[in-house]
Chain A
Amino acid sequence: EDQVTQSPEALRLQEGESSSLNCSYTVSGLRGLFWYRQDPGKGPEFLFTLYSAGEEKEKERLKATLTKKESFLHITAPKPEDSATYLCAVQARGSARQLTFGSGTQLTVLP
């Protein structure tokens, strides 16, 4: 059974204090790993897709990396507007349609 575990559950940072969120996964052959951002009362918003170990993607202050067992979302010099819940999901090769989501990391960036 595919599993995704995200840590920490919640993270509070001061503005400008860089950190990383972790997504550990077990899957029978990774087809893709997805990062989403979710604001309160909204649906998840797509950020990145990673396909193979060693791959990296960047967008503004966010950088996602992938190994064979986990993915990291690095946040550099965060701002209050980066506050949100960040979700990780995996898609297995044998399951062309279904995503397995983690329960998310709630990030709060204090001014």
Chain B
Amino acid sequence: NAGVTQTPKFQVLKTGQSMTLQCAQDMNHNSMYWYRQDPGMGLRLIYYSASEGTTDKGEVPNGYNVSRLNKREFSLRLESAAPSQTSVYFCASSEIAGTQPQHFGDGTRLSIL
């Protein structure tokens, strides 16, 4: 049982390049989330999708876009990467948006030069 799968695991970009981080879950969860994790800081929510067909901004959405492709897949796009976006990105899912625990993937480590 894979749970939440993120691709790629590692990526190096140059400033101004674009890329899409992929996330898929096989738990039939309705809600999905994108976080970033920086040293000394807690996980911060970028965007979330409470259900298929809906997306909403989180705490730090600037510079990112998302697409909820279907119930299983939720992608995060950086249109013009900046060094400040160097981080570890985690995707998570939960059965419903509420007090259900969120289940996380193993992250994408992104460096922007």
Contact = CB atoms under 8 A, between A and B. Distances in A.
Contacts of B4: 43
A44 to B, nearest CB: 5
B interface bracket (residues with beta carbon within 8 Å of A): 20 to 34
A interface bracket (residues with beta carbon within 8 Å of B): 20 to 34
A44 B104 CA distance: 6
B59 to A, nearest CB: 7
Contacts of B43: 44, 87, 89, 99, 101
A4 B41 CA distance: 11
Given A97-B31, A97-B48, A46 B101 contact: yes
Contacts of B78: none
A45 interface: yes
A19 interface: no
Interface in B20-64: 31, 33, 40-45, 48, 50, 56, 58-59
Contacts of B42: 4, 87, 89, 100-104
Nearest to A4: B42
B48 A98 contact: yes
B41 A98 contact: no
Contact of B50 (A32, A43, A49, A97): A97
B106 interface: yes
